[in-house]
Structure 1
Amino acid sequence: MAAAALAVVMVGSGCAALTGDTGSDELQQFLSALEAGDVAGAAAMTTDPAAAEETLAANIESMGFAPSLSIDTPDGDRRPDRDPVPVEITWDMGVAGGGDGDGGGAGGGEGDDDEGGADPAGGGGEPSPAPRVVTTTGEASTTKVDDQWKVQWAPTILDTRLEPGGYLAFSEILDYDTSVLDRTGAPLLQWTPVTAVTLAADAAGSADAVAALVSTAAPTITGQSIRDGMAEAGDQPYQVVGLRPSDIDPIREQLAAIEGVSLPERGDLIRTDRELRSPVLDGLPNAWLEALQAEGGWRAEIVNPDAEPIELGSAPVGEVEDLVSTVQISVQQAAADAVAGTGLAASIVAIQPSTGGILAVAQNSAADQQGPVSLEGRFPPGSTFKVVTTSAALQSGVLGPDEIVPCPASITVSGRTIPNDSDFALGEVPMETAFARSCNTSQAVISDRLEPTAMKDTAAQLGLGVGFTGPGMSSSWFTGSVPVTERGPARVEASIGQGEVLASPFGLAVMQASVANGGRMILPQVVAGMPAVANDAPEPLPPGIVDTLRRYMEQVVRSGTATAANSIPGLIGKTGTAEVGSGPSHGWFVGSTGDIAVAVLIEGADSSAPAVEMAADFLGAAGQPAPLPAG
């Protein structure tokens, strides 16, 4: 949040400096404390510290920010003990505010279960709006209390036009008619009137009754979840849920009759389809708010009881075009349907390689219990990481595209014995075959010839281990981490996606999309036309390496470990089974066809086969992405 700056100037006349024992030093100390943001310290120098602190804090808050002050006292012969000294205050509200605006704070995109506003987060790289600066002129005087000079407290220190009960106010004016659309133009999120079902801090006894009434619209809310939330809120009222008009109207009277319930009205940016849930939607309210603030208007005014507000300054609001997301509702629905088909925790992330646009992110309720693991999870990627190991070997020249490699049932390399799944053995085979059948032993042999940084550097070329930030994206999104490994057991384990190598479904989708993008790292985006910024800029894989890798990945689907998905035209991919302690292994599949790349994770599946089937179901239902709007 940008800090407001207040410049305070005492305006005098004549040419003699303030002299003598008049309280002028104490007045300057008061203003200096206010300048430093020490409201309590400033208030303590007044004749009424309690009233001063309350009024100063309330007015500073209503101006939208925690201020930092600067002060200049010109020469003058005014005596604050005899004549009030004019005090000129300049309020600088910065260029991107966090005020509530005219329609309330932006919601978290839920609507049926919304408990917080979107955090303002700057202008997304757009040109900064003009500064928002206003000036007020007040008066200050001093008096002696018990032989000590004090500042005579009055709200008119802030502005002489303030009347009893009046206050200063700043508000942003935003174009709330702006919606968030999917890539086809269908509405995803819209600003909608909602009713905030709120419980007083001392009304925990009403939690069960409230939960019973709102459960139809918000089935995850229980009496216990309300009590837990109230405990965290302490002595503040607790918002249970925000309900749309269609949900609140049938139960409004019953809710209003419950002790401790209040039903304030406000607006929220909520999903148009409450059943459409995805972690990728959670960041869109922030991106929406950034876009609105970039064209936002504002006003600052003095609000006195029973009087028209006195304007201090303002700027008109600009019209904001609807924000277009790269998400496609039909693809998101296909992903949601696919992950719902298993009782195990499952995640799918789909990306358009040509643009980096995130098409869908879905995880089922079992995965939801762990948080947004599709975007932030840290899992061993298993044999899907052979995409990186093989690319590193091809790029460094330690492996030829058609080289014959050993694929025994098990092998000891650098002190680490690596077996194949179910101890299968192929003997001496072309690398294409070893890759398609996912020979761990072949990868172990290859890794022994690599340089310590080879796998880490190659992973970064495909976006794995790279950090991305952009509108609608959270800094907690995680692609992966790949260690630098000296020759030895750690490198052998890393070569097959075990040991210290970690990745999320998002990270492996980025990797596969980068392969499909000709080996050039994609820049993911959630808002159309606003690609992420990467913390690394690696060179792309050479075209010849990409061609060889794609040939290998095509064979995985035709004759290797992913033949269950060979009904999907043009599909290339790689399977993975990742060991996790003593429990069942995780199953992975990454693949791409046309202009869609996907990563599928099923935790505890003990095989990649279910992930392959899930990917085939998803891709068959999703089809190819719709084009983004021109421009």
Structure 2
Amino acid sequence: MKIWVKRATTAACAAVTCAVMVSSCGFAGSSDTGAAATIDAFAAALSRQDAGGAATFTTAPGQAGDSLTTTLKQMSAQRVDVDVENPVEYSDGTATFSVTTTWNWDKGRVYESTSGGTARKLSSGWKVTWDPAILHAGLTAGGTLREIRTDAKPAPTVRSRSGRAFMVAQPVNEIVLDPTRTADLNASVRALAGVIAPIAPMITGQVIREKLDATPGKAITAVGLRDSDMQVLAGDPRRVPGVTVNRSDQLVMADRRLSSPLEDGLTNYWQAIRDATAGWQVEMLGPGAAPRKLAGEQGPPGPDVPTTVDQGVQLTLGDAAVEVGQPATILTLDAQTGAILGMAQNSFAIDSGVDIDRPYPVGTTLNPVFDAIGRAAGPQHERGEQLLDRLGLGVQFTVPGASVPTPDRPGIATIDFRPGQSMISMTNMAAFGVAMARSAAGQTSSVPPFVLKNVPTKVSGGDLGGLDPAVVRPVLQAMTSTAATGDASDLTRAPGLRALVGTNGPEGPGWFVGLQGGQVVVIYTEGPKSGTAALQVAQKYFTIK
């Protein structure tokens, strides 16, 4: 015999046999303490994603808490709706119910499942009989649910201007050391450094220790290795206490000889495409079983990313950047279009955090420019600012695929006509160089730098546009003079060179901007004698290009 708790009445009790009346009428109608109340409380806690709270209403709080915690974490839903239907108490101290669980995520993603469960009346009151199948029909002991992102295959490829693969998605193995999972951290650091030494000799024990010290108590990624790298290690890193290997697809250089500061910006753009085309999937996991897909959607793969990068130029830039033992970054562009052909920097510049967007002191480098603008604008300050903008010096550029803007590094040029007070980014200097090259070739307007084909650069804080001959003519003359008889006159193998060179004092930074062979070359260096260092990098580039 069964009694529907929410509808039970005294009259109903009177209608049953006397033997059953005692056991059933004692709780019929007492929904605040009966099975329905417990089941509803369990469902309400689960709807709040309170795993511990829901587990207290079960017959096995420990097991239930672990299972619910794992599933709620893996499902990572914005909202969970748990609706109980047909709760029924029986005279033998048991009850049954159905439950519909609806998982809700952003972008209208929803997954709904219906399952059933039971409850028992114990000495401590009614409890939901713990069974993972309450969460989803067919879920067994030790099983959980999870929602995962899916990405269409094949992944987009970042291509050079010739159409060759420049960056590709490949499996990368991140070697992670967690200091909380080893009893002897120093021993683990030494052992890990030894294991990865054949492929990553620069990641020494000291380097690993510095990474750990920078984030006390937190896991760090010692190095990321491709599958082929893993074959030449001096052992299995997983055998080192505290070390795990996380494998995932990442965007890496197709040619391992290449590296570039452009990688971050290109990866961000590539990732945005992946995010826009990403799908999703709900899976059921069980011990010893392959994940079972329950629901999900996946759109088509995103398009490849065409860039203006020249792989040959990029390789040459990398060789030039390592010419000096201080921070050095070199950028080249097509002199007529502003297309970025490549960018490279040495390890010292990487350690210093030099990037394409950050403003740096320009020192004496642009004195000929400021002088020319001062003469052309006279006392008209607004006219002077307009002339600066049109040269690309007074505006802010956001270059998709190259810029990685952050709130504390807006990349805005600061122009002050007082010596040593002006600051610009490498992007600004690049735009200036292109403006000069275009003017020398008879063009009358400036254009912004760019690296992604058919994706425009955002210009803010002013406008590019027509170039004033009264400004560009004396500046081109100064650039010619600097290359012929000035600071850049010792450079060889650079026929037709026009350049400006300058520093911000003995400690730098130093700049070089040159027009040669249809290219604009911008070099930024830091440290003592940085002007000389910039010229050394330039000479190396002209020698090997």
Q: TM-score, normalised by structure 2?
A: 0.75
SS in 2 for 1:282: helix
**1:538 corresponds to 2:520:** no
228 and 567 in structure 1: CA distance in 2 versus 1, 3 angstrom threshold: closer
* Residues 1:466 and 2:396 are matched in the alignment: yes
Q: Which residue of 2 aligns with 1:487?
A: none
- Would you say 1:577 and 2:503 are equivalent positions? yes
What is aligned with 1:548? 470
Q: 1:275 to 1:219 in 2, by over 3 A?
A: farther
Residue 611 of structure 1: aligned partner: 534
Contact 1:574 1:591 in 2 (8 A): yes
Asked if residue 379 in structure 1 is aligned to residue 360 in structure 2, the reply is yes
Deviation at residue 381 of structure 1 after TM alignment: 0.8
Matching residue of 1:61 = 73
Where 1:156 maps in the other structure, the secondary structure is helix
Report if the CA contact (8 A) 1:182-1:324 is conserved.
Answer: yes
* Whole-angstrom CA distance in 2 between matches of 1:263 and 1:284: 26
Task: Tell me the equivalent position of 2:146.
Answer: 169
Report the equivalent of 1:404: none
Higher relative contact order (CA 8 A, sep 6+): 1
The aligned amino acid for 1:90 is T
Q: How does 1:427-576 map to 2 (within 5 A)?
A: 449-451=379-381, 455=385, 458-459=388-389, 462=392, 464=394, 466=396, 468=398, 470-471=400-401, 473-476=403-406, 479-482=411-414, 494-496=416-418, 498-499=420-421, 501-513=422-434, 516=437, 522-534=447-459, 536=460, 538-543=462-467, 545=468, 547-560=469-482, 561=486, 564=489, 568=494, 571-576=497-502
The match for 1:179 among 146, 150, 157 is 157
Distance 2:446 2:237 in 1: 53
Asked if 1:86 is matched to 2:98, the reply is yes
**Aligned equivalents of 1:235, 1:80: Cα separation in 2:** 51
Distance 2:335 2:400 in 1: 17
- What does 1:307-386 correspond to in 2, within 5 Å? 310-316=292-298, 318-352=300-334, 356-371=338-353, 373-375=354-356, 377-386=358-367
Query: For residues 30-56 of structure 1, what are the alpha-carbon distances to aligned partners after superposition, in whole Å with 9 as ceiling and x for unaligned?
Result: 545544554445545555544334222
Q: One-letter code of the match for 1:556? A: A
Return the alpha-carbon distance in structure 2 between the equivalents of residues 570 and 521 of structure 1.
Answer: 21
Aligned mates of 1:29, 1:554 — CA distance in 2? 80
TM-score where L is the length of structure 1: 0.66
DSSP 3-state at the match of 1:361? strand
Q: How does 1:179-198 map to 2 (within 5 A)?
A: 179-193=157-171, 196-197=174-175
Contact 1:455 1:482 in 2 (8 A): no
Task: Verify the 8 A CA contact 2:193 2:203 in the aligned structure 1.
Answer: yes
Query: Hey, what does 2:514 align to over in structure 1?
Result: 591
The answer (yes or no) to whether the contact 1:465–1:479 under 8 Å persists in 2 is no
What count of residue pairs does the alignment treat as equivalent?
502
Which of 196, 208, 215 does residue 226 from structure 1 map onto? 208
Q: Is the 8 A contact 1:80 1:141 kept in 2?
A: no
Verify the 8 A CA contact 1:195 1:244 in the aligned structure 2: yes
Residues 359-393 of structure 1: CA distance to partner in whole angstroms, max 9, x if unpaired?
2222223323312x132554211133447645754
Tell me which amino acid in the other structure corresponds to 1:161: G
Q: List aligned pairs for 1:48-447, cutoff 5 A.
A: 48-63=60-75, 66-69=76-79, 71=81, 78=87, 83-94=95-106, 132-139=109-116, 153-171=130-148, 172-176=150-154, 178-193=156-171, 196-197=174-175, 201-202=181-182, 204=185, 205-230=187-212, 239-253=221-235, 267-305=249-287, 310-316=292-298, 318-352=300-334, 356-371=338-353, 373-375=354-356, 377-386=358-367, 389=370, 393=374, 397-398=377-378
Give 1:336 deviation, angstroms.
2.2
Using the alignment, how far apart are the partners of 1:280 and 1:208 within structure 2? 33
Residues 296, 316 of structure 1: 8 Å contact kept: yes
Structure 1 CA distance for aligned equivalents of residues 244 and 81 of structure 2: 44
State the Cα deviation string for residues 118-155 of structure 1 (Å, max 9, x = none): xxxxxxxxxxxxx5432222346666777677655442
Cα separation, 1, equivalents of 2:219 and 2:538: 45
In structure 2, distance between residues paired with 1:601 and 1:307 = 56
C-alpha distance 591-237 of structure 1, shift in aligned 2 (>3 A): closer
Which is higher, the Rg of structure 1 or of structure 2?
Answer: 2
Alignment partners' CA distance in 2, 1:27 and 1:354: 73
**CA 1:342/1:550 → structure 2, altered by over 3 Å: closer, same or farther?**
same
Shift of 1:495: 0.8
529 and 55 in structure 1: CA distance in 2 versus 1, 3 angstrom threshold: farther
Q: Distance in 1 between matches of 2:171 and 2:286?
A: 28
Does the Cα contact within 8 Å between 1:325 and 1:526 map onto a contact in 2? yes
SS of corresponding position for 2:352: coil
Root mean square deviation of aligned Cα: 4.3
Note the alpha carbon deviations across 1:167-225, whole angstroms, 9 max, x for none. Answer: 22333143256433322233333334555555573153143344244334213211122
Whole-Å separation in 2 of the counterparts to 1:567 and 1:550:
25
Aligned equivalent of 2:31: 20
Q: 1:344 to 1:197 in 2, by over 3 A?
A: closer
Letter in 1 for 2:433: Q
1:601 is displaced (CA, Å) by 2.0
AA paired with 1:211?
Answer: A
Comparing 358-367 and 515-524, the one that deviates more: 515-524
Q: Structure 1's 224 and 585: CA in aligned 2 closer, same or farther, altered over 3 A?
A: closer
Letter in 1 for 2:411: T
For residue 256 of structure 2, give the secondary structure of its aligned residue in structure 1.
coil
Distance 1:338 1:308, change over 3 A: closer
Letter in 2 for 1:183: R
Alpha-carbon offset, residue 596 of structure 1: 3.2
Change (3 A) 1:192 1:578: same
Aligned equivalents of 2:303 and 2:172: distance in 1?
23
